[in-house]
Amino acid sequence: MEAVIVFSILIVTIGLSIPIGITLGLSTGIAMWLTSDIPMVMLAQKSVTGLDSFPLLAIPFFILAGALMCNGGISRRLVNLAESLVGYITGGLAMVTVLACMFFAAISGSGPATVSAIGSFMIPSMKERKYDAGFAAAITAAAGTIGVIIPPSIPFVIYCIVAQCSIGDMFIAGIVPGVMIGIALMLVCYCTAKKRHYVSVTERPKFSTVWKAFREAFWALLVPVIILGGIYGGIFTPTEAAVVAVVYSVLIGKFVYKELDGKTLYECLRTTGLINGATEFMIGLSMAFASYLAMAQIPAHIASWMTSLAHSPFILLMVINVFLLVIGCFVDNIAAVIILTPILLPVVKTIGIDPIHFGLIITVNLACGFISPPYGINLFVASAISGESIESISKSILPSFMAMVVCLLLFTYFPVFSLGLLQWLR
């Protein structure tokens, strides 16, 4: 009964487009009032104590670092480096887009930010080169999903806080899958370009050209090295790494690339404050939501029900994947991670799935939602940049979506792709 009430309220309020944070608070409060004797003050207590967490500070600092990098002249230099590496291949301009998104993903931690930063350069360039406008927007939207997979990733940080696992381990686990998705999308670019006879951007570059582009982008490429090297070298924690990334971004944008002024810095701080406020509000109330679920033993009942339906771990993982793909079409990535992690993590633990491995599964599934109508936030960003309709982009994005699903199945059933590098480093 508790599960029926809490999820019914949750579904209705989400359907009414009520903000996710308020939705979580309403569903938890009403369910507590109707089904238990738990004092209502618990809702406020758990929400406040849930935010009293040092690792949570990583979220605003990573958001700010990504904003500073986006506005500090780094996007253009990453695009130039990507063009010098793959621009001469068939479908090279689309491959440049994917590779540039992979580079930017390693400093932004956000899917929509990656689409915005790279798409503003690459979508107009592809249209000038006679690429189909729908395809240009679609491949940019798809490549932007890598922003939440290659570390640092904001959804990874949130998942680890909710699941109480290592953020550093989660970051390492995302490297290989992020690169694999990038390669898969490049193959989509190549096959599409062959079929439609898209020409390459340039001739095969000289070493001097590549070296010059690398030198210009060098300071940007150091960011993931500093973050991951510092964490695994024992120099600083993931939260401290986020602060280091902010300081580094300011110094590079202001004194090296000289494109970060006071007005831009203010806008970055303002944007970060707005995004972080909404995110922290959701996280606080999600802690109260998770506490109520645990008190009512709802995750245990769901785990028992799901395992009774699917006796095989293979089938259970497939059911969870389909469920998450559908949820990703309607609910924001961060909100879905906050809501679903305390429900599904106990289920997968019963079949021996590592929490880090499941963190990758849930993040990639929900990243697919970035390019799935009707929610598809990457689709909306790409549409705004390209001027193409959502319908046009959605038709062109199917091959990229299928490539991501194939990668998802590999990550799901072959843990070596997510845990192999982590186990090797240990």
Q: Mind giving me the DSSP string for 80-108? A: HHHHHHHTTSTTHHHHHHHHHHHHHHHHH
- DSSP H helices, 129-206, are 133-144, 154-163, 167-196
Tell me: pLDDT of 76 over 90. no
Quote the CA–CA distance of 110 and 137 in Å, as a whole number. 17
Cβ atoms of 139 and 185 within 8 Å: the answer is yes
Cβ atoms of 365 and 326 within 8 Å: the answer is no
Tell me the residue type at 218.
F
Tell me: pLDDT of 202 over 70. no
- pLDDT band at residue 374 using 50, 70 and 90 as cut-offs: low
What's the pLDDT score for residue 363? 92
Burial (CB count <10 Å: 0-12, 13-18, 19+), residue 202: middle
Q: How many CB atoms lie within 10 A of CB 298?
A: 20
The answer for 123, left when phi > 0, alpha when psi is -120 to 50, beta otherwise, is alpha
The answer for 376, left when phi > 0, alpha when psi is -120 to 50, beta otherwise, is left
What's the pLDDT score for residue 179? 93
Burial (CB count <10 Å: 0-12, 13-18, 19+), residue 206: exposed
The pTM (predicted TM-score) of the whole model is 0.78
Mean pLDDT in residue range 335-341: 82
- pLDDT band at residue 185 using 50, 70 and 90 as cut-offs: very high
What's the pLDDT score for residue 147? 82
- pLDDT tens-digit map of 203-223: 777 888 888 888 888 887 887
Angle at 291 between CA 168 and CA 317, to 5 degrees: 60
Mean pLDDT in residue range 370-381: 76
Percentage of the chain beyond pLDDT 90 is 12
Mean pLDDT in residue range 283-294: 76
What's the pLDDT score for residue 290? 73
Tokens found for residue 86: 């793959």
Residues 6+ apart with CB under 8 A from 426: none
What's the pLDDT score for residue 220? 78
Percentage of the chain beyond pLDDT 70 is 95
Considering 280-284, 311-315, 316-320, the range whose residues carry the highest mean pLDDT is 316-320
CA-derived radius of gyration, the chain: 22
Tell me: pLDDT of 200 over 70. no
Burial (CB count <10 Å: 0-12, 13-18, 19+), residue 397: buried
Across the chain, mean pLDDT equals 82
Mean pLDDT in residue range 342-358: 88
Tell me the residue type at 133.
A
- pLDDT band at residue 375 using 50, 70 and 90 as cut-offs: low
Mean pLDDT in residue range 159-179: 89
Quote the CA–CA distance of 351 and 91 in Å, as a whole number. 43
Pairwise pLDDT comparison (262 vs 51), residue with the higher score: 262
Of the given ranges (18-27, 39-48, 225-234, 298-307), which has the lowest mean pLDDT?
298-307
Helices (H) and strands (E) in the chain, counts: 21, 0
Residues 6+ apart with CB under 8 A from 76: 121
